[in-house]
Chains A and B, each alone.
Chain A
Amino acid sequence: MLSNQEVAEALLEKFGDQVFDFEEPYGLLTLSTSREEIIPLLEFLHKHKTYQFIFLTDITGIHYPDNAGKEFMVVYHMHSFVHNFRVRIKVSIAEADIHIPTATGLFASANWMERETYDFFGIMFDGHPNLKRILNIEEMDYFPMRREFPMEDATREDKTDALFGR
């Protein structure tokens, strides 16, 4: 049985101070890395002889508009079936330079996950073979999951959200 400690130490040994912010929310090993190291890190876990993180569970994005310089976060979930061990990797990127390398070279499933993240947050995955909108129409000129995008038409006066909603 693999422990969080063990994997964290192996990653620290390999990547040094490029992996940081280790946490264990609800027991799931969570760490952050930089944009430059994300693909080597995924590849290291994917190709590791004993850990064998062969499965990419999920890629998604989060928007933190108040976090200057780190407005967007891309979150990767990986799973090792052999050890039944999950790991969550986060990468923060700035809105001014909203680029991150693609993981499609490692996992075929990353293709649509990244397209979805692009579609909703506008995060550009460099090197993606077909980075275009997937669930929304192509003519759309905004990224709907960003926090500033309002849920409802803000000009309407017949509905008040004083009691409901954020």
Chain B
Amino acid sequence: MADIELLPHNVPANADLPELVEELTTLNLGPTHPATHGIFQNILKMDGEKIVSGEQTIGYIHRAFEKIAERRPFYQITTLTDRMNYCSSPINNLGWHMTVEKLLSVEVPKRAQYIRVIMMELARITDHLICNSILGVDTGAFTGFLYVMQKREEVYEIYEEVCGARLTTNMGRLGGMERDLSTTAIRKIHEFIKSFPPVLKEFEKLLNRNRIFMDRTINVGGISLERALSYGFTGPNLRAAGLDYDVRVMNPYSSYEDFEFDIPVGQHGDTYDRYMVRNEEMWQSLKIIEQAINNLPEGPYYADAPEYYLPPKKEVYRSMEALIYHFKIVMGEIDAPIGEVYHAVEGGNGELGFYLISDGGRAPYRLHFRRPSFIYYQAYPEMCKGSTLSDAILTMSSLNVIAGELDA
């Protein structure tokens, strides 16, 4: 005991103490870190727990979609698009179909347009559900996530009914949908409209006014409107910063002009605003689905464009024309007109654009995807500068950066 007693002659003089060195720590966050939900690497310079600067490395799941697309017939590119934002694949698929239809000048019948709107809005709900519930998980509330995943499962069942797949949907065809809404699908959509609001309400009750959640998210990871525009933000992240830009309203496609809905906007562009905007958008999406399913027009579910729309299998076995078209489409013998198109849809994360140049061949000469995640993720170091590591994790999950879309 005696030797730990600091007697006066044992106290070191100031001059003997080692000099206090201030230095920054380098922290390698990622590429595979359980808190980042995807493959992102951030090399952070930390001063204690504060982030001084960050450098991102992306491209871990780059699959060269643009290059592959240059060798594929138009209808085979759909499967590439649903691997971009895999939380809302139908939006990508249908956005791509609309781009090609614009190039080919194919008019899609009203019924198909309404079915597409329903599917795209369901996809938006699943996309925002993931983002918001994961934000809950990152602040320590796992319950909400587990609870709303049941609802996502119901949406996936509707996908299954409409296109046969769940995650990588390959939904729709050039010129319409591959099948009409079945009675089961309609029943499931009605059930979803009825059963989803109470769940979403409970989810909101769990987080919206939760003291811990508010303390963790308000004034965290904010971005001003001016910087957000300069960084090319679109979608919920831009709207949270205060600008009501929404492609569905600005350049309506697929009959969005027929529906009544509001665009929620935030004020501060922080994590909480992004969360609130996404939540409100789910209510608006639900409103759109309700209007679309109740006013579903009668009529065909595909366009009268036999040279582009794959004929029903029954016809192929019975009639000569259908057989010829089937063969020509599947073998990629259909030439597209020469032209260049930019078409944008409101994806889960913002303006999802397709810039397509056709030289008149069977495949695009050049196809470029304007991926919203790719463009706004570069603002991340600026947004988490000066915040703590735990807040930076929240900022990233509230931005909803999807690795597949980021790297394409």
Binding site for B on A (CB under 8 A): 25-26, 28, 30, 54-58, 60, 62-63, 75, 77, 81, 84, 86, 88, 107-109, 111-113, 116, 120, 133-137, 144-145, 149, 151, 163-166
Contacts and interface: CB of A to CB of B under 8 A. Distances in A.
Given A75-B355, A134-B58, A144-B64, A88 B342 contact: yes
Q: Classify the secondary structure of B's interface with A.
A: mixed
Interface in B353-367: 353, 355, 357, 361-363, 365-366
Q: How large is the interface on B (under 10, 10 to 19, 20 to 34, 35 or more residues)?
A: 35 or more
A166 B368 CA distance: 18
Interface string B369-405: 0100011111100000000000000000000000000
Given A109-B230, A166-B363, A135 B342 contact: no
Interface stretch (B66-74, B114-122, B300-308): B66-74
A70 to B, nearest CB: 15
A57 B353 contact: yes
A107 B342 CA distance: 21
A134 B71 contact: no
B30 interface: no
B375 A109 contact: yes
Contact of A84 (B67, B229, B250, B378): B250
A81 B225 CA distance: 14
A114 B361 CA distance: 28
A145 B245 CA distance: 32
Given A25-B340, A108-B378, A56 B71 contact: no
Contacts of A120: 66
B197 interface: no
A49 B114 CA distance: 39
A56 B232 contact: yes
B39 to A, nearest CB: 12
Interface string B189-233: 000000000000000000000000000000000000001011110
Given A108-B231, A135-B407, A28 B62 contact: no
Contacts of B68: 151
A109 B230 CA distance: 6
Interface of B: 58-59, 62, 64, 66-68, 70-72, 102-103, 227, 229-232, 243, 245, 250-251, 331-332, 339-342, 344, 351, 353, 355, 357, 361-363, 365-366, 368, 370, 374-379, 407-408
Contacts of A25: 339-341
Contacts of A149: 67
A108 B227 contact: yes
Given A25-B339, A26-B339, 4 more contacts: A26-B340, A77-B355, A86-B342, A165-B363
Nearest to B226: A54
A148 to B, nearest CB: 12
B71 A112 contact: no
27 contacts: A25-B339, A25-B341, A26-B341, A28-B342, A57-B351, A57-B353, A57-B370, A58-B368, A81-B243, A81-B245, A81-B250, A108-B231, A108-B232, A108-B379, A109-B376, A113-B232, A135-B59, A135-B407, A136-B59, A144-B67, A145-B66, A149-B67, A151-B67, A151-B70, A151-B71, A165-B71, A166-B71
Given A55-B232, A58-B353, A84-B250, A134 B342 contact: no
Contacts of A55: 229, 232
A48 B68 CA distance: 39
B363 A58 contact: no
**Which among B67, B251, B331 has the greatest number of chain A C-beta atoms within 10 A?**
B67
Contact of B62 (A112, A136, A164, A165): A136
B64 A107 contact: no
A16 B325 CA distance: 50
